[in-house]
Every structure is written in C-alpha cells, then in structure tokens.
Amino acid sequence: MRIILCGFGVVGQSLVKLFVSRSEDLYAKYGLKPRVVGVFDSKGSAVDQSGLDLEKLILVKKEFGTVKNYAKTKNNYSGLDMIKNIDADVLIETTASNYKDAEPGMTHITNAMKSGMHVISVNKGPLALAFPSLMELATYNQVMFKFSGTVGGGTPILDYAKNSLKGERITSFAGILNGTTNYILTNMANGLSFDAALNDAKSKGYVEADESLDLDGLDAAAKLVILANWVMDMKVTMPDIKCTGIRKVTTENIKNAAKKKCAVKLIASCNKELEVSPKEISVDDPLCVNGTLNAIAFTSEHSGTQTIIGKGAGGMETASSILRDLLDIRQEIART
C-alpha cells in the first residue's frame, strides 16, 4: 500500500515507528505492507516512488529536525505537489487542526479524493468545518474516508458507536472529549487556581500552541461535530455547536459542586441540542473521570448507557488509530 504522509510531527513519527516495529506482524497477520512514498514537514520533503527507508527517515528527522535531508538531491514538494506528482493509494493527513479555514489539510484531503486516493485524517479541522461535503466528495470519487483518530485518540469511540452497537439506536450521548481542560479542572478541584492549573498543564506539554483550541472548547466542539455526523447521521458543522469554554470556571464553582458530591467538567453533549459547556456531574457517574482521561457515555434504546474511558491523545495512541484505519482500508480493498 503506497502512502503519502502529510506532516511528520509526533503522530507521523509514531506511525512510522509502528510500521517499522510491526512490519512482519502486519504482513503475516493482515497482508499489509505499508510503503511510504512521500512525506513532508514544515521545512521540506522526502520522496521515493519505490518506498522510503523508514528507519533512515526517523534518523534523519532526529538529526536535522526535518526530512528534507533524507536524499542528496533535496526537493521541496508540498502536499499538493505530492498528490499531483506521485502515485499513491492512501493519503494520511496529520497536519495541525485549525478551525478558521482548515488549511492546509482541506486542500490535501479534497485533492487526494479527486485523484482517487483513500484518505485517513487525524486532522479535525476539515471534518469540523465540512464533514457533510467531505463525505459526499468521498462517495462521489468512490474512495474511503477514515478518521478514527480524531475522537478519543487510540480509544476507538467512533467505531464502537457505529459498529459494535450495530442494530442499537443511540438516543443521546455526552462526553469529556478534551484531556487538557479535564486536567486543568481536575487540578482546580485539588486546590489550584485557574492560572496555576493552566501553567502546570502548559509545562507538561498538554496545551495546544493556540491555547484557545483547548480553553474555549473548540477542540471538544470539533469532536462533537464529528460524532454527531458519524454516529447520529446529523449534517452539522462547527457553527451548529453552542460552545462555552472553561475560562470562566472559578474555584468557587468547583467548591460548590463538591458540596453536592459533583465535579465541574467540560461536557460535549448531543441531546436534541449540540452543546459544549462546563457542567456539574455526580462524582459517582462513570463519566466523571479525572486527569487527562477522556470519557463518553452513549445512551441507547435497548441496552442502557454505556461508558468508554481511555487516554484521549498521545502520539502512539493516535498512530495506532491510523493503523486501524489502514487495516480497514486494506480489508475493504481485498474484499472488492
């Protein structure tokens, strides 16, 4: 399977390491032989139509901070250049999410689909701004579009709701979908001020470069858009979410909640309305998880409420979700 990899940050590097460490197993067990034919980062690109040497790629990135130095004859392909000039089966989009215009991810994804490539995205931007039309574009071009890693990181929340609960009707759901704000709120419950808790989260590398994505609830809202489209068959985008972040949560609010055996959590919910906002929930509710954990509770017609809890983010976790998507694509291709 020939792959173009957009972005080579923590997730991209974890994925390539996974390809290396599990190459035998992936081939023996699933018939998957991933061949990365092109990759780029913010400083340059590396291309080899017959497949890049993945161990070398990791070493080069480590030594020079970019994949540009992989070959002697350097090239400077953008994602779009690669899609236009290199033959590939799958595009994997891992550049940073932005909720203004979703670029450059949007250009990568739409052009790859038009060129007949299957697409795996862990970039939430394009999905948050244009989920319904991207699904249509994929269908029109008869390509597969997968995005397991956008919600829950390595925890397969989307697949669980769509496939494991097949035949069931999910009537509503609510979740803690952003680990950073959960970490901050947990530390505030343990006595820290908002600023101290935020600084602690920053020092641990939990906060996005643009802190607004976490603090104002945009990251959680993007995940809610994806869940609402995928699980509930709604046709919605970011402007449909009523979104409030955690900036106005005070230690006073949290103390008052604690008196009622509750905790304040940033809850993304789908129950008639789509909303992200800080809410009090009972500490006895399975949804009430602490630290950087994510959790989501699906309420179904016949089998009650089911809660899934897991690590929401992390390079290797997200890489493992990309691998799952690749295996799905591999299996689907083998079937047809």
Least separation in angstroms between CB 185 and a second copy: 15
The catalytically annotated residue of 17, 223, 242, 255 is 223
Nearer to a second copy, 239 or 304 (CB): 304
Share of the chain residues as helix, strand and coil, in percent rounded to the nearest 5: 45, 20, 35
Residue 321 engages a second copy in binding (rule: CB under 8 A): yes
Least separation in angstroms between CB 207 and a second copy: 20
Residue 308 engages a second copy in binding (rule: CB under 8 A): yes
Residue 299 engages a second copy in binding (rule: CB under 8 A): no
Residue 267 engages a second copy in binding (rule: CB under 8 A): no
Question: CB neighbours of 323 closer than 8 A, spacing ≥ 6?
Answer: 15, 18, 22, 26
Least separation in angstroms between CB 256 and a second copy: 22
Least separation in angstroms between CB 158 and a second copy: 9
Q: Identify which range of 89-97, 150-158, 191-199, 228-236 contacts a second copy by CB under 8 A.
A: 150-158
Tokens of 85: 């000039």
Nearer to a second copy, 126 or 179 (CB): 179
Give the pairing of strands 35-41 and 2-6.
Answer: parallel
Residue 286 engages a second copy in binding (rule: CB under 8 A): yes
Nearer to a second copy, 26 or 225 (CB): 26
Question: CB neighbours of 17 closer than 8 A, spacing ≥ 6?
Answer: 58, 316, 319
Residue 120 engages a second copy in binding (rule: CB under 8 A): no
Q: Which of 100, 167, 239, 259 binds a second copy (CB under 8 A)?
A: 167
Residue 180 engages a second copy in binding (rule: CB under 8 A): no
223 as an active site residue: the answer is: yes
Task: Provide the phi-psi class of 29: left if phi over 0, else alpha when psi is between -120 and 50, else beta.
Answer: alpha
Q: Which of 164, 193, 212, 271 binds a second copy (CB under 8 A)?
A: 164
Residue 289 engages a second copy in binding (rule: CB under 8 A): yes
Q: How many chain residues interact with a second copy (CB under 8 A)?
A: 44
> For residues 122 and 147, is the Cβ–Cβ distance under 8 A?
yes
d(CA 307, CA 297): 4
Q: Which of 34, 104, 156, 179 binds a second copy (CB under 8 A)?
A: 156
Q: Identify which range of 87-95, 148-156, 205-213, 244-252 contacts a second copy by CB under 8 A.
A: 148-156
Residue 175 engages a second copy in binding (rule: CB under 8 A): no
> For residues 299 and 99, is the Cβ–Cβ distance under 8 A?
no
Nearer to a second copy, 163 or 203 (CB): 163
- Which value, in Å, is the radius of gyration of the alpha carbons in the chain? 20
**Which is nearest to 123 in space by CA: 88, 91, 151, 150?**
150
Sign of CA dihedral 68, 15, 166, 334: positive
Give the pairing of strands 170-176 and 293-300.
Answer: antiparallel
Question: CB neighbours of 230 closer than 8 A, spacing ≥ 6?
Answer: 131, 158, 161, 162
> For residues 217 and 178, is the Cβ–Cβ distance under 8 A?
yes
Sheet of 2-6: strand order equals: 44-47, 35-41, 2-6, 90-93, 118-121, 145-146
Nearer to a second copy, 87 or 333 (CB): 333
Catalytically active residues are 223
- Positions touching a second copy (CB under 8 A) are 18, 26, 30, 153-156, 159-160, 163-168, 284, 286, 289-290, 293, 295, 300, 302-311, 314, 316-317, 319-321, 323-324, 326-328, 335
